[in-house]
Amino acid sequence: MKLFPDLETKKRFMKTGLPIVVGIVWSPIIGAVILYALGPGLFALTASWAVTLTITLFIVVILTVFLLRLFMRIGTRFYNAP
């Protein structure tokens, strides 16, 4: 059973779908690092873990999107180089 019917479909998936999968996979890791680094300070400021986790989630989404765009831009520079 082939997942991709032809090579062009596979290339399109690698250009568009793979960064989304990478972002989903790396989000919990980035979230754990952000929560470890900023969690105690945010909890001291807000006195609520719900608010702390909401702020952390917001930071993780923004940071993940930023990193994916950065890596995609760097990847196209190397991919299109002669």
- pLDDT computed for residue 69 by the predictor: 86
- pLDDT computed for residue 23 by the predictor: 83
- How is the chain split into domains, by residue range? 26-79
pTM of the model: 0.72
Whole-angstrom distance, CA of residue 4 vs CA of residue 69:
25
* 82 residues of the chain, pLDDT tens digit each: 477 777 777 777 777 777 778 888 989 999 999 999 999 999 999 999 999 999 999 999 999 999 888 887 876 666 555 5
- pLDDT computed for residue 77 by the predictor: 66
List, in order, residues 6 or more apart from 52 with CB less than 8 Å away.
35, 39, 42, 43, 46
- Measured from the Cβ of residue 37, the count of other Cβ atoms closer than 10 Å reads 11
